[in-house]
A and B are shown apart, each in its own frame.
Chain A
Amino acid sequence: MRSLFYLFSALVVIVLAFWAYRENYETQAAQDHAEDLQDEIALARQRLRALNAEWAYLNRPDRLLELTELNYDKLGLQPLQHYQFGRVNQVAFPPEKAADVPLVIENSVEVSTMETRP
């Protein structure tokens, strides 16, 4: 009985030792992987930062203004004006079938909200 107990203990020790050994190496592998991922994240962030900076640079107001001036024939873009504001109920209902006629704002000057103010 006693020798059986000794044998069992020895077996448990061996199994635990093997488990600890494997865990150790698995942990190290996970750490290496995490480090690689961190490096990747750092690189990705650096790239993102550079791209954000470039996006902001390409969208700087001076450049956009130049581009609108260059492409005025095609796009006809102009600064936003007060008469471009409208109300939803000023938008005409679409004609029954002619789908290619764009929506038009009728009566665009009539925008008083007098009744809403004392």
Chain B
Amino acid sequence: MIRTPLRPLARILRARTEGENPDVIERENIQMRHEEMRDRARRRAEGRLLVLGVMFFFAFGLIGSRMAVLAKSEPAEPRASAAGVAILAQRADIVDRKGRILATNFDTYSLYAQPQQMVDPERAVAELIKIFPDLNAKRLLEDFTGKRKFLWIKKKISPEQNQAVYDIGEPGLLFGPREMRLYPNGKLAAHVLGGAGFGREGVQSAEVVGVAGIEKYFDARLRDPAQGHKPLTLSLDLSVQAATERVLYGGMKLMNAKGAAAVLMDVKTGEILSIASLPDFDPNERPHSAAKGDPADNPLFNRAVQGVYELGSTFKIFAVAQAMELELITAETMIDTRGPLKQDGFKIKDFRNYGPQLSASDVIVKSSNVGTARIAKMIGAQRQQGFLKSLGFFDPTPLEIVEAKGGRPLLPDRWTELSTMTVSYGHGLATSPLHLAVGYAAIANGGYRVTPTLLQGGTPQPGPRVMSEAVAATARTMLRKVVTKGTARLGEVQGYAVAGKTGTADKPKPTGGYYEDKVIATFASFFPAYDPKYVLIVSLDEPVETSGSEPRRTAGWTAVPVAAEIIRRVAPLLGLRPEIEPAQLADITLTAN
């Protein structure tokens, strides 16, 4: 860069000779230099502005074009994150306590038609009728040739049927994928599982919803996609349930009963190992609930949970246990059993005359109504209600099926002294067999109330104590005697020391009063008596045993042998080792000399 001097010598000398001020020349040069510097600075600033402008232009241009691309393009799901969800989004399985499948899903197809695409409707109808004989040919042809644009033909078809329909080759017959609920064991545990149906339906999919039983109770849990891969584990045992149902069915037929129910429950945890109600149904093809007739005759009716019956003498042990708990009596206290006992114009009688008095223990063993009624009178209405309430006899059972709410016990309108006496031997208070199982579990487990459950819990959850350990033990001894020398002698099973109480209650007429020849026979039992593990309730509806000279209806002849057979079959399956009962030491009283 050439630097211009501020005071060029030539011009200074000339100016001096001409008498001018040489400082003017210097100032002029300084001004020129400043102007030059200013121009340079401006040019540079302008250049920078231009670069910045271009940069901003491109940046905004890029953002704008990206926005335009986004606005124009089709929406698409992000790729990596959405995978996996679709695989698991299905209804969870239901399995038994050992993981064997009770309910699962099966992929199948639904069949629908779009008549306007049909080539040969007549032939399609003829071929369809061959595959599905239950279809109405005339109506189908009307639909196919009419104005309809869409119709469902079958909600679910099997793979074979799918192939057969495909082979017709009719373009108007179309398939939609369906996930159906499958109960591979058929009728097994039908009342617990309930059944499932389709909720909202589209061509490509349909939601499966539970319509009854545990499917409906846990519908939200089973449909939750986050838990779709975790099966719902029930406390039921498939083989025990199958054996129970089979024996119960045989017993029901043999005893000419019209219905039967059985509950097998763990006495400590309240887990239900098997629960059966006959007649039953196939949850794969759940029948429509019949509106007419007695609801109790409907196969959908769950006798074990919904059916509230007066369960008769099985209740006597509760009166005796409570009286012992209140220290009103002991097992040896003599009770006046002279009958008939008159109360409020009503006569309480025994099945046969048991003499003037019996010990409290023998009142249970011989099943004396009069004796129990006298004990109940000692207890009084107030305390009796409190005790029965603490055992759960006043509320529906909290079982995890939707039908359980329907099993609300029927209580006397006014709890008079007569009610107290009749309830003590199981009349006037109607409960379900499951209620009774909870009551007997309290005696069997040493005095704790348990909560019946269908879910596998694992750890024992003792509820509130309802009676002392000693009272429960005495009650167990009494109930064991019922089987060894009382009304339930047919209930003895070698190696399993069954204890229990029979109950035969006359069925109430719908019009009022009781039938003479229709009874509910119940056997409430637990085993093994010296260390109870399981409680079993068997109830038969209108049984008649006809092998003898005259028909026998009492529970000792009907429900007891069925229960014994169930225990014989089921106890080995439960892994219970048969044992010789320990010698009875309770009769020897140690006294100080």
Seen from chain A, the residues whose Cβ lies within 8 Å of a Cβ on chain B are 31, 34-35, 38, 41-42, 45-46, 49-50, 52-53, 56-57, 59-62, 65, 79-85, 111-114, 117-118
Contact = CB atoms under 8 A, between A and B. Distances in A.
B109 to A, nearest CB: 13
Contacts of B246: 61, 65
B6 interface: no
B580 interface: yes
Nearest to B90: A49
B580 to A, nearest CB: 4
A49 B106 CA distance: 7
B100 A56 contact: yes
Contact of A79 (B531, B569, B582): B569
B105 interface: yes
Contacts of A79: 243, 569, 572
Interface of B: 79-80, 83-84, 86-87, 100-101, 104-107, 182, 184-186, 188, 238-239, 242-243, 246, 493-496, 530-531, 568-569, 571-573, 577-580, 582-583
Nearest to B107: A46
B481 to A, nearest CB: 19
B375 to A, nearest CB: 30
Contact of A38 (B87, B568, B569): B87
A108 B448 CA distance: 36
Given A60-B184, A84-B572, A112-B579, A38 B104 contact: no
Contacts of B101: 52-53, 56
Given A50-B107, A80-B569, A118-B582, 14 more contacts: A34-B80, A35-B83, A38-B83, A49-B106, A53-B101, A53-B105, A56-B185, A65-B246, A82-B494, A82-B495, A82-B568, A85-B572, A112-B580, A114-B583
A59 B99 CA distance: 13
Main secondary structure of the interface of A (DSSP, over half): helix
Contacts of A117: 530-531, 582
A40 B106 CA distance: 18
Contacts of B184: 53, 56-57, 60
A111 to B, nearest CB: 6
A111 B86 CA distance: 56
Contacts of B87: 38, 41-42, 45
A37 B10 CA distance: 93
A85 B577 contact: yes
A82 B578 contact: yes
A52 B104 contact: yes
Contact of A82 (B83, B107, B531, B571): B571
28 contacts: A31-B79, A42-B86, A46-B107, A49-B105, A52-B101, A53-B104, A53-B106, A59-B100, A60-B184, A60-B185, A61-B188, A61-B239, A61-B242, A61-B246, A62-B185, A62-B186, A80-B573, A82-B494, A82-B496, A82-B572, A83-B578, A84-B572, A85-B572, A85-B577, A111-B579, A114-B580, A117-B531, A117-B582
